[in-house]
Amino acid sequence: MAKRKLQRFEELKGFQRTFQFPFPLIHTDHGLKGNWAKEVFGNSNPVVLELGCGRGEYTVAMAKSFPELNFIGIDVKGARLWRGAKTINEEDIRNAAFLRLRIEWLHLFFEPGEAAQIWITFPDPQPQLSRENLRLTNPRFLNLYRSLSGPGGLLHLKTDNTGFFDYSVEMLEQQSGSFIVKTRDLYTSPPEGFDLSIRTTYEKIFMDKGELIKYLRFQWS
């Protein structure tokens, strides 16, 4: 297993539109900050981030479905990221990229307002109270997302976990903005125009078990 991980880390270095950096990261702004659309994608289209993207299947699927947007899948696990990065290179998907990075360092790589949308898909709910600081919708992270998105920016969350969904709603209610969509059963009451065909591996597993998929869309003011 360790040998395969090392092979994948090495292969990541040769992929186009795939970025990974030494850890610990030197805490200075990166050269791509504010320049992702122009320098990486060669256009001026809006940038969409998927946080904790895992193997990247959601990032890849969204990039295929929405060619007018630029998608960046972000995860700290390089061995997981490898699958999505390999796919966009093999299929020459030019509006998708991957970044190996810790979420708390996003401000070093993206300017305020640079991310038009942020997606969080089936994150670890971190149910223990002692691990609230690791939940991807805790106040510290939400303030970061708000800065990255700016007024009018969108935050999307998909989860099977009721406790995490309720926690996220409660935290977002304390933010400046409003819910555009908030549903506890996405596949019974989907938002208009929502592409239900885009699903993560975990989502399919949860649905096979009969779990209801929760979804919210929040817009910053």
Is 124 catalytic? The answer is yes
- Convert the chain into a string of H (helix), E (strand) and C (coil): CHHHHHHHHHHHCCCCCEEECCCCCCCCCCCCCCCHHHHHHCCCCCEEEEECCCCCHHHHHHHHHCCCCEEEEEECCHHHHHHHHHHHHHCCCCCEEEEECCHHHHHHCCCCCCEEEEEEECCCCCCCHHHHHHCCCCHHHHHHHHHHHCCCCEEEEEECCHHHHHHHHHHHCCCCEEEEEEECCCCCCCCCCCCCCCCCHHHHHHHHCCCCCEEEEEEEC
Catalytic residue among 29, 75, 92, 124: 124
Catalytic residues: 124
